[in-house]
Structure 1
Amino acid sequence: MKKVMQCSKFLLSLVLIVGIVLAAAGHEATAKGSAKASGASSVFVAVNDTLVTYPVSPVIHKGTLYVPLVETASAMNISVQYSKGKVTLKHNAGASVTLPANGQNTLVKNGKTFISFRVLSQKFGFQLSYLSNQNLYRALNKGAALTDAQLANKYSSYIQQNKTKATAAAKPAAGSRTIYITFDDGPSPYTPQLLNVLDQYNVKATFFMLGNQIANHPASAARIVKEGHGVGLHGMTHQKNKFYASPYSALNEMNMDNAQLHKAANVNTKLIRPPYGSKPYFTKAYRDQTAAYGYRLWDWNIDSNDWRYKSNPQKIYDSVMRDVKNMKRKGITPVVLFHDQQATVSILPKMIKAIQAEGYTFKPLTNDMKPLNFWHDER
């Protein structure tokens, strides 16, 4: 692998991106809309058995990791050529692709073109792995000889010497009087009513949706996005023995769910919430697998227990308001778990008015927020 000069800071956050669009390099320095990069963290990138070093650090823009295109392509034995608004990538094994330049999945910073590490990797058949102890992300194909553990050991001294303190990303601010309400298991036949209530009170929420339910109610999924609510993934089956069969099965369900979301609403998301919450089943192996694909794990700090009180919605109200007031006294931002169901919809207007009376503003979760989860895993 061709190495460039070493630098001390690296950035990373991987995301799932459906479209593959690349931009031209140096001559784009003055292009309009060049994106501003943000954040710095102790993250490292490798291709097969070699750590990639860059003349400039990778950047994170709107929660997406972008790596310098030319250096990363070179490390993968991919040539880059530009002509008439298009960029052609060609692997030395023969695979090639020509794509439009100046696309939505690239950015330019100080004359340098950056692209998603995951996008470039998957387009040319590289798999992704994540070594959590070193915060090292790896793209590998049949050219890799080392195991992940061997690679980590090979570069352990370098990584220890070059670790930097991560810059905190946006996250729910303690005592901000912001509340995040979330709805699992939809869309459902009750989603239109639920959205009507949210619209009536000018409230934004986040919906962790099941892929099969999106397929059954695509119009509701599209409306959720159109009306500015947050969207997250909840898998496909909601069956413990299937979803948690292996880390790969969990990842596969999230990817399939994301594909259904894109089909219905033309968007993708990085937000995930596994069935039944992340503890105890969503262990480190599962979290490493999904984090390598850019997913961010969300649980909650208030459980409405609406699934338990379907026949008595007033108990849903009492439970939530007790916990919201307790969080307010402690200065903790609430993230509330609801379900997309009739009982919840019926009590929601009363609950929204009471929460607003406590001085809260309702906001959706976004891809660039550091997640809240039971494992305290902020990836």
Structure 2
Amino acid sequence: MARRWLPLLLVPLLGELWGRAAGWGALGAGDPGQPRVALTFDDGPSPRTPELLAVLARHGVRATFFVTASACAAFPAGLAALEAAGHRLEAHGRWHRHALLLPPGRSGPRCAGIPARGSRGRCCTAPYGGHSPWTRLLVRAARRQVALWDVEGRDWTAADASTLARQTLARVKPGSVILLHDGPAVTPALLDRLLAGLHERGLSAVPLHELPPSASAGGPAGNA
């Protein structure tokens, strides 16, 4: 009996692996011929949000923040500050769990948790970059698109800001989508160094929708 159910269990797993590798139904890097990169943050708002906003304001940069329902409820002042500063708000999920660990009804954008007010967009990112087949189908049905990234700032590791900035800048190219996080203590310093490095290379950091992203050729890697 167990063997009869095995193919049914393997199909979603294989679909997940193939979908992430191919970036099916998702948005990724933008036009490599334009001197722009997209700057995105997952997981916020958080107690770190004011520091990030200060760095962004100092550099005159706007970004895209993929927020969670729980963080919006816990830090409403941070959410209001993001809106007031003109940053783009998108959905990162109501439950910060991998899509394969959620039932289908909890993996779509209706459960994304982005507030009804604010500068909402049409994209969402999945926690840990995990997109199940259900996620992609439900996102498309809601006229949203999954957004991926091609450069991970790795601010969830123990490395210092200078090291992370150097490693990140080494991977950035025109059209890149850069992923950072709203929460780690190292991120404000990393962001400051990263923006300075982008400026030196003649690259402008913009919100994701101003890149704009295109169909992704590959899936994400890392923690989100």
Same fold (TM over 0.5): yes
Which of the pair is proportionally richer in helix?
Answer: 2
Distance in 1 between residues matched to 2:30 and 2:57, nearest whole Å:
23
Deviations 1:180-232, CA, capped at 9 Å, x for gaps: 11111111100011001100110111111111001111121122122221221
TM-align CA RMSD:
2.4
- TM-score w.r.t. the length of structure 2 is 0.76
Q: Residue 371 and residue 234 in structure 1: after superposition, are their counterparts in 2 closer, same or farther (change >3 A)?
A: farther
* Bigger relative CO (Cα 8 Å, ≥ 6 apart): 2
The corresponding residue for 1:271 is 123
Distance in 2 between residues matched to 1:191 and 1:343, nearest whole Å:
12
Distance in 2 between residues matched to 1:290 and 1:256, nearest whole Å:
10
Distance in 1 between residues matched to 2:38 and 2:213, nearest whole Å:
13
- Which of 92, 96, 117 aligns to 1:238? It is 96
The corresponding residue for 2:104 is 247
AA matched with 2:46? S
- Which of 151, 161, 164 aligns to 1:302? It is 151
The corresponding residue for 1:172 is 30
Distance in 2 between residues matched to 1:373 and 1:306, nearest whole Å:
23
The corresponding residue for 2:135 is 286
Distance in 2 between residues matched to 1:368 and 1:244, nearest whole Å:
32
- Conserved in 1, the CA contact under 8 Å of 2:98 and 2:126? no
Distance in 2 between residues matched to 1:301 and 1:201, nearest whole Å:
23
Distance in 1 between residues matched to 2:118 and 2:45, nearest whole Å:
16
1:316 aligns with 2:164: yes
Q: Which runs of 5+ in 2 are unaligned?
A: 1-28, 220-224
What is the number of equivalent residue pairs in this alignment?
190
| 2:121 counterpart SS class | coil
Distance in 1 between residues matched to 2:215 and 2:64, nearest whole Å:
14
Between the aligned residues of both structures, percent identity stands at: 25
- TM-score w.r.t. the length of structure 1 is 0.46
What displacement does 1:373 show?
A: 4.0
Q: Which runs of 5+ in 1 are unaligned?
A: 1-170
Larger Rg: 1
Q: Residue 349 and residue 179 in structure 1: after superposition, are their counterparts in 2 closer, same or farther (change >3 A)?
A: same
Distance in 2 between residues matched to 1:195 and 1:285, nearest whole Å:
34
The corresponding residue for 1:335 is 177
Distance in 2 between residues matched to 1:228 and 1:347, nearest whole Å:
21
Distance in 1 between residues matched to 2:127 and 2:216, nearest whole Å:
13
The corresponding residue for 1:185 is 43
- Conserved in 1, the CA contact under 8 Å of 2:37 and 2:176? yes
AA matched with 2:201? E
